[in-house]
Amino acid sequence: MDLVENDIYLSIVLPCLNESETLLTVIEKSFRSLEANKIAGEVIVADNGSTDGSIEIALNAGARLVRVPERGYGSALIAGIQESKGRYVVMGDSDDSYALDELSEFIAKLESGFDLVIGNRFKGGIDKGAMPWLHKYLGNPVLTWIGKIFYKVPINDFHCGLRAFRRDSVIALNLKCPGMEFASEMIVKASLYELKMTEVPTTLKKDGRSRPPHLNTWADGWRHLVFLLAASPSWLFLYPAIFTMTLGLGGVVSSFFVDAHSISGFPVKWLLYYFGLGTISIGTQFWILALLARLFGELHDFLPKKRESNFIERNFHLGKGVFAGIFMIGFSLILGVALLLNQSLFIENYASNEGNWRIIGFLALNMSVGAQILSSSFFAAILRIY
């Protein structure tokens, strides 16, 4: 394809850290793919500080070198994408495990209007020994399942490193993750910002290196999981808030329908009541954290602004929060003192008065929620400043 005639220019970005054993092969495959598809393009090696001759190999092979001081898979790719000149970008690995010489279907999907195209190794084929058993049957399927549930994306291989995308669309996502979780960040933010995504089958073969891969199974898997949760305040905080507050409300309501000593003299009524109040307090904290997480994400361009954000903007200002928190705490203290005075006047009936104990529990909950609102309002103000 001619660049001028078809307005196509493809950049192939390869992250690299001491990949001298396979880098030349990968670069040559990349150039062959450009030639086979008749695309004017470039091959970029984003180097993380190689000391094994990878830099010299890249330059001698005709690749464009981008030096990336900050270590990490994501750091290398972010720098390489930023320096790329193509309308479209393909990212792969430098270990010769991906089919970088078979990019026609990726390019066709981009040309048909998709913003992001992910390879699917499970559909294309995985050579024996190319993917560790734990990754193939546990890590990748579980993390992909979580990502699909949380973000509703049509992707069945969240961590395939062979991807093609429109450069401007992905740069607009402002990707920041420096490590392996960059792979999840790209898909998650593409979903949140409603980019058009699809997948194509691709193959994975055993890489050509004699040394172990840079990937750390447990540490990198944990970072992927944390990112998937952190990028979804609803799943991380809001849904637990709804569950715990519903559970707490159920405990409070049910306490009105059981006897005070319904099981072998044990005060089940009060157990249900105070358990319910405590659970409601926990649910309130989850709900506030959901609002603060959403505020943080939007302020730092991590999450797109949604309709419910107007509620946060209106109600999580320092003045309103401080006023509400102090009012709730003050109300609880004043009414609590009144109850103490009532105890001194009617001490014989105080302990047996069920209403008094219920009011004490409610005041404790009200004071707890007031303190949470007060402190979180200050925290929201800090987020807005920094």
Query: Mean pLDDT over residues 136-151, rounded?
Result: 92
Question: H/E element holding 93?
Answer: none
Structure tokens at 91: 């990212």
Residue 4 pLDDT class (50, 70, 90 cuts): very low
The answer on pLDDT for 340 being more than 50 is yes
Cα pseudo-dihedral 53, 58, 61, 65, rounded to 10: -150
The top-scoring range by mean pLDDT among 5-14, 38-47, 312-321, 351-360 is 38-47
| Higher pLDDT pick, 257 / 260 | 257
Residue type, 308: E
35 Cβ contact partners less than 8 Å away, ≥ 6 residues apart:
none
| Higher pLDDT pick, 61 / 306 | 61
Separation between Cα atoms, residue 287 and residue 303, nearest integer Å: 18
What is the predicted pLDDT for the residue at 6? 43
Residue 3 pLDDT class (50, 70, 90 cuts): very low
> In sequence order, which ranges of the chain are alpha helices (DSSP H)?
3-6, 23-36, 54-60, 73-83, 104-111, 121-124, 133-134, 140-151, 167-171, 182-192, 217-230, 233, 239-254, 268-299, 309-315, 318-345, 347-350, 354-385
Instruction: Write down the pTM of the prediction.
Output: 0.82
| Higher pLDDT pick, 97 / 340 | 97
Q: Where are the domains of the chain?
A: 3-230, 233-385
Q: Which of 92-96, 98-102, 211-215, 261-265 has the lowest mean pLDDT?
A: 261-265
The answer on pLDDT for 44 being more than 70 is yes
Burial class (CB in 10 A: 0-12, 13-18, 19+), 371: middle
Structure tokens at 268: 């089940």
What is the predicted pLDDT for the residue at 309? 59
pLDDT in tens, 231-243: 999 999 999 999 9
The answer on pLDDT for 114 being more than 80 is yes
Write b or e for each residue in 64-83: b if 16 or more Cβ atoms lie within 10 A of its Cβ, otherwise e: bbbebeeebbbbbbbbbbeb
Length of the chain: 386
Query: Mean pLDDT over residues 63-89, rounded?
Result: 96
Calculate the average pLDDT of the chain: 88
DSSP label at residue 204 = B
The greatest distance separating any two alpha carbons of the chain, rounded to the nearest whole angstrom, comes to 96
Q: Is 160 helix (H, G, I), strand (E, B) or coil?
A: coil
Structure tokens at 340: 């103490």
DSSP label at residue 52 = S
The answer on pLDDT for 315 being more than 90 is no
Separation between Cα atoms, residue 168 and residue 165, nearest integer Å: 9
| Higher pLDDT pick, 357 / 133 | 133
Query: Mean pLDDT over residues 44-69, rounded?
Result: 96
CB 217 within 8 A of CB 139: yes
The answer on pLDDT for 377 being more than 90 is no
Euclidean distance between the first and the last CA atom of the chain, given in angstroms as a whole number:
48
What is the predicted pLDDT for the residue at 383? 84
CB 125 within 8 A of CB 97: no
How much of the chain, in percent, has pLDDT values that exceed 70? 89
The answer on pLDDT for 94 being more than 80 is yes
Q: Tokens 């390019």 correspond to what residue?
A: 107
Q: Label the pairing between strands 163-166 and 116-120.
A: antiparallel
Query: Mean pLDDT over residues 193-200, rounded?
Result: 96
Separation between Cα atoms, residue 59 and residue 67, nearest integer Å: 12
Considering the segment(s) 3-230 as one domain, its CATH architecture is Alpha-Beta Complex (3.90)
| Higher pLDDT pick, 377 / 211 | 377
